[in-house]
Structure 1
Amino acid sequence: MTPRRTTLVAALAVVAAVVGLTACDGRPAATASARPASAVARSTDAAPTPDVTKLLVFVVENHSLTQMRRGMPWVSRLADRYGYATRYRAITHPSLPNYLAIAGGSTFGVTDDDPPAVHPVHRPSIFGEAVAAGSTAAVYAEGMTTPCRTTDTGRYAVRHNPWTYFPDERRTCRRFDGSLDRLAPAVDAGTLPAVGLVVPDVCHDAHDCSLASANAWLKAQVGAVLRGPDFASGRLAVVITADEDDRHHGNRVLTVVAHQGLDHQVVSAPLNHYSLSRSLADVAGVAPLAHARSAASLLQAFGLTT
């Protein structure tokens, strides 16, 4: 064989080897020893996941895990991208005691949806405790016309705004429990609070409107948060949950946790609203309230530190 022919054969062999490692769509073909690029990155040069110092919670109304997965495609994709819990349950029915459980670590014996004038809770809330300890807290309530409003108006339902039920914290509530209009500036400036709750109106939380409407609203609102500097820093975790199910699925609701350190994580540990309340206390650096003291931490269940 001449030197020129030998060189040509060798070149063709190299080309064949490259083609053999490339799929027809231009991507590298799988090999027995190949690992996903993400796994390689995590094992070699990934930076440690920072502690979570901010937690922002969005609440949907009256739908189960299965209903939310089927009826909220963007939220479902978010759950698959970051993480979600499969055994997260609300505490009871109806709505209000579940919100109180998140805010105060207890239902305080409430079994209905009556307003704050009927159910004043003379105990601390996680919002008030955070502010008193020198941390930060805020509620962003869609449709609320005056800060810390204690009665319904339009599509604003006070039963979904739990801080209003703690009259001993009224002055602080009036400072930091305001309208949804304050959310976007805080997101853009990277000044979201340590303890944050977003309260959609009764259409956008899927109480009076469809899950599709809630899904579109969350895509816009949560999507903006995920593009903000707080989330990019890894200091912020975002939770989407439901106050309760429709009373036909054992009160099991979809609870999504989005954070830069999570990747397709599914948590099967039993969790509930007290677990969420405990995590809110953890990011604020205060003691968990009431039943949240003995609850498993939602963030810790996902491997996140505070």
Structure 2
Amino acid sequence: MVRTRIAVALAAVALTTAGVATAVATGHGSAVDVRPAAASVPQFDHIVLVMFENKKYSSINGSSSAPYFNSLASQGAKFTQSFAITHPSQPNYVALFSGSPQGIVDDTCPANLGSKANLGQQLIGASRTFKGYSEAMPSDGYTGCSSGTYRRKHNSWVDFSNVPASSNVRYSTFPSDFTQLPTVAFVTPDMCDDMHDCSIGTGDTWLKAHLDGYAQWAKAHNSLLIVTFDEDSGTSVNQIFTVFVGASVKVGTYNESINHYTVLRTIEASYGLPGLGNAASKSPILDVWQ
């Protein structure tokens, strides 16, 4: 009888300890989640990735200036150890799109990268679709370096000749019927709304006004929203705020180290595509999926 009670007590302690460890690892401190990581990334009908500018993680996380960013984080998977690749902006955009900065070290425009492999080319070659939506770009297919508050340095897909001009479009053409979105869409706000030239609050308001509808729709329509930053505010740490919100996402805080290559690899894995460049050596994110 005594031995039985001891055995039961030890088993209870073991289960409690395991549960606490899992809760800490996943960020679910009050609700223990003992489910294992998914075996693969879900194949989403649509993925929309939005890139903001030049803010370190601590400037967004918990900030009263970014209530919507933090609201999104509470609805999805927040990554507390997410990092950009380098400084300044342009090589990060190129790295996220192609698995490498492709030798780019500054914001010099134009960066003509020819037919080097990239995510847009991968998707189109696999009978999927890709579009990049740039706010304030003056016309679809535009290849100029700047116009008003638009900057080509934040539009990496235009740098590759194997991504058709029809994939390079104005944000004003972003569909209100989200079923009409391409398989993968990248969204670039203009130089004010992306926080480069304007405040965190400006970017926060823009994100809520323009993409909350998609974020809520995605949860029930096998789709995903990724919100991230190109780089931090110029520090050597280069830690950025990154959130996944949508279908199949386990709400929580995740502390594995990820970067732009990890995000690229995760998008590729959703559609059975091989990793490009430095993304090939990254494992896709698996622990955030139900």
- Structure 1 length-normalised TM: 0.76
Contact 2:72 2:245 in 1 (8 A): yes
Counterparts of 1:242 and 1:145 in 2: how far apart (Å)? 23
Say which structure is richer in helix: 1
Query: Per the alignment, do residues 140 and 186 of structure 1 end up closer, same or farther by CA in structure 2, a change over 3 Å counting?
Result: farther
Query: What's the C-alpha RMSD, in Å, of the aligned pairs?
Result: 2.3
Post-superposition offset of 1:283: 2.8
Long gaps (5+) in structure 2: 1-30, 36-40
Post-superposition offset of 1:263: 4.4
Q: Does residue 1:61 correspond to 2:61, yes or no?
A: no
Q: Which amino acid aligns with 2:252?
A: Q
Post-superposition offset of 1:186: 4.3
1:95-149 deviation line (CA, Å, top 9, x unaligned)? 0110011110101111001123x44343021012211220111111111122232
- For 1:232, the equivalent position in structure 2 comes to 220
Counterparts of 1:284 and 1:138 in 2: how far apart (Å)? 16
> What SS does the aligned partner of 1:278 have?
helix
Contact 1:88 1:253 in 2 (8 A): yes
Q: Which amino acid aligns with 1:212?
A: G
Q: Which amino acid aligns with 2:151?
A: A
> What SS does the aligned partner of 2:97 have?
helix
Counterparts of 1:191 and 1:166 in 2: how far apart (Å)? 24
> What SS does the aligned partner of 1:110 have?
coil
- For 1:302, the equivalent position in structure 2 comes to 288
Counterparts of 2:126 and 2:43 in 1: how far apart (Å)? 19
Post-superposition offset of 1:185: 3.1
- For 1:153, the equivalent position in structure 2 comes to 147
Q: Which amino acid aligns with 2:173?
A: R
Say which structure is richer in strand: 2
Counterparts of 1:301 and 1:55 in 2: how far apart (Å)? 18
Counterparts of 1:264 and 1:287 in 2: how far apart (Å)? 27
> What SS does the aligned partner of 1:241 have?
strand
Q: Which of 207, 218, 231 in structure 1 is aligned with 2:207?
A: 218
Q: Does residue 1:205 correspond to 2:185, yes or no?
A: no
- For 2:270, the equivalent position in structure 1 comes to 283
Q: Which amino acid aligns with 1:126?
A: L
Query: Per the alignment, do residues 260 and 284 of structure 1 end up closer, same or farther by CA in structure 2, a change over 3 Å counting?
Result: closer
1:50-95 deviation line (CA, Å, top 9, x unaligned)? 6434221001100011101213111112102212101110000000
Post-superposition offset of 1:288: 1.8
Q: Which amino acid aligns with 2:190?
A: D
Residues 46-57 of structure 1 correspond to what in structure 2 (within 5 A)? 51-57=43-49
> What SS does the aligned partner of 1:86 have?
strand
Counterparts of 2:219 and 2:174 in 1: how far apart (Å)? 14
Flag the structure with larger Rg: 1
- For 2:252, the equivalent position in structure 1 comes to 265
Contact 1:88 1:271 in 2 (8 A): yes
Q: Percent identity?
A: 27
Query: Per the alignment, do residues 301 and 161 of structure 1 end up closer, same or farther by CA in structure 2, a change over 3 Å counting?
Result: farther
Query: Per the alignment, do residues 167 and 251 of structure 1 end up closer, same or farther by CA in structure 2, a change over 3 Å counting?
Result: same
Q: How many residues matched?
A: 252
Post-superposition offset of 1:281: 1.5
Counterparts of 1:131 and 1:202 in 2: how far apart (Å)? 29
Query: Per the alignment, do residues 238 and 130 of structure 1 end up closer, same or farther by CA in structure 2, a change over 3 Å counting?
Result: same
Q: Which amino acid aligns with 1:131?
A: I
Q: Which of 164, 177, 180 in structure 1 is aligned with 2:158?
A: 164
- For 2:83, the equivalent position in structure 1 comes to 89
Residues 181-200 of structure 1 correspond to what in structure 2 (within 5 A)? 181-187=172-178, 190-200=179-189
Long gaps (5+) in structure 1: 1-38, 44-48
- Structure 2 length-normalised TM: 0.80
Counterparts of 2:192 and 2:122 in 1: how far apart (Å)? 31
Counterparts of 2:119 and 2:100 in 1: how far apart (Å)? 11
> What SS does the aligned partner of 2:201 have?
helix
Counterparts of 2:112 and 2:132 in 1: how far apart (Å)? 19
